[in-house]
Amino acid sequence: MKTTAIAPKERILLIDGLRGFALLGILIAHITYWFNAGPTPDGIFQKYTNDIGFQIAGAFEGIFISGKFYTFFSFLFGLSFALQMESKSFTIGRFVWRLFILGLIGLAHSLHWRGDILSIYFVVGLVMILFRNASDKVLIIASLLLILNLPIRIRDGYRFFYPTPPPTAQQQKQNEQKTKSYWDTVKKGNYRELIAANVPAMVDKFDFQFDSGRIYITLGYFLLGLLAGRRKWFAKWEEHRLFFKKWLKISGFATLGIIAVAVPLGIAFGNGEPKPWFNLLMSALYDVHCMLLTFFYIVGMTLLLQKKSWKGALQNFSVIGKMALTSYLSQTLIGIILFYGVGFNLMGEVNPWICLLLTFPVYGIQILFSRWWLSNYTYGPVEWLWRSLTYLRWQPLKRGDLVAEF
């Protein structure tokens, strides 16, 4: 009896490669600013302000990385859902149970690092199930409206005409104290203190998700990935080659257009007193920019990874992608060891441009580890545990192992 959602031989190498590339972008986003998933106290960046490397790293991360790879990863999660639906062993009950286990893994991850996305995936994944039988037209409309952050655009439009009162001096002081307290815990606290500080932060994380609209955007990419899987954009990508090339041009030129509009606006109106209309416009342009660049990365990497000259890159990305959950969690482990007080305590002590360069040796180590692991084992360690709990059977771990029941 088949007991896995997608057996190794059935995997689509391209999707694993895209997943590995997405994890590279996620690593850059997190490591550049020391894996700090909370607000940064005033003055931390002051010593780097005039450093050209800091400015370049900040511009690169802000324009090309921030807000573009959690979206890429979310798209692939929706795509995986579509692929799982095609499996003979797929049932809604089993998928919900699988999501629940992922949520528990995310909960444990959140206790160590505030930036966890897996607990968000549990919530958004439950909503995605409701769209499993929706028409393609519904998926297209719903995904685009959510990706463009329509709920937040409506809220911000309302606040433009009916602004909320600014925080009081007391509230600002409380926020500053809260920020400094967590920073001190990360820098000076022991393991138990770090865990204790992260428990109440779970509420803050969901507040941020809804306040920024990221949770809506994530759902939008889940639905777009579901559509891509249904239409077999990647399973039969050769049939859609022209479609990918078309969207590469559209997303690429449109991204340049957004930058050409946003930069002069920022220079002209970005300084001085806050301007509500300017903030409203720039927020909307930012969401469009993130959408277009995410599309550009998805279609661009799909085309590149199918080239013979990129075969080596595909193999390296794919070994990370086959162990995506393990790789994602191990990135956090590395970040905590490098930057937190329980490790080498480098948070705030190392220029972000140096941290950005650290991405490549860290990612290289992950590739080497993944290659070694997959040469001996069928799944990554966390993937194996996730599958075993999903099916309530010990899944084969060493190559050639038989499935065993608990």
Long-range Cβ contacts of 344-348 (<8 Å, 24+ apart): 345/187, 346/34, 347/34, 347/35, 347/36, 347/186, 347/187, 348/34, 348/44, 348/183, 348/187
Over range 21-28, report the average pLDDT. 98
- If pLDDT is split at 50, 70 and 90, which confidence band does 183 have? very high
- If pLDDT is split at 50, 70 and 90, which confidence band does 10 have? very low
259 neighbors 288 (Cβ within 8 angstroms) = no
**The whole model's pTM is what?**
0.93
Over range 292-312, report the average pLDDT. 95
Over range 102-108, report the average pLDDT. 97
Beta strands, E only, 176-243: none
What is the per-residue pLDDT for 237? 83
Q: Write the DSSP string, 101-130.
A: HHHHHHHHHHHH-TT--HHHHHHHHHHHHT
Q: Nearest-CA neighbor of 218 among 137, 139, 110, 123? A: 123
Q: How far apart are CA 154 and CA 158, in angstroms?
A: 6
Over range 145-164, report the average pLDDT. 94
pLDDT one-digit tens code per residue, 250-284: 999 999 999 999 989 988 887 877 788 999 999 99
Over range 46-65, report the average pLDDT. 93
Q: How far apart are CA 142 and CA 138, in angstroms?
A: 6
Beta bridge partners, 404, equal 394
What is the per-residue pLDDT for 301? 96
51 neighbors 351 (Cβ within 8 angstroms) = yes
High-pLDDT (> 70) share of the chain, %: 96
What is the per-residue pLDDT for 398? 86
Average pLDDT along the chain? 92
Q: How far apart are CA 406 and CA 400, in angstroms?
A: 18
CB neighbour class for 348 (10 Å; exposed up to 12, middle 13-18, buried from 19):
buried
What is the per-residue pLDDT for 404? 56
Q: Write the DSSP string, 258-325.
A: HHHHHHHHHHHHSSSS--HHHHHHHHHHHHHHHHHHHHHHHHHHHHHHTSGGGHHHHHHHHHHHHTHH
What is the per-residue pLDDT for 403? 56
Over range 76-82, report the average pLDDT. 95
Q: How far apart are CA 211 and CA 336, in angstroms?
A: 27
Handedness of CA 384, 387, 389, 394 (dihedral sign): negative
Q: Does the pLDDT value for residue 11 go beyond 90?
A: no
Kindly give, in sequence order, each residue whose CB lies less than 8 Å from that of residue 57, ignoring residues fewer than 6 positions away.
Answer: 32, 351, 352, 353, 355, 356
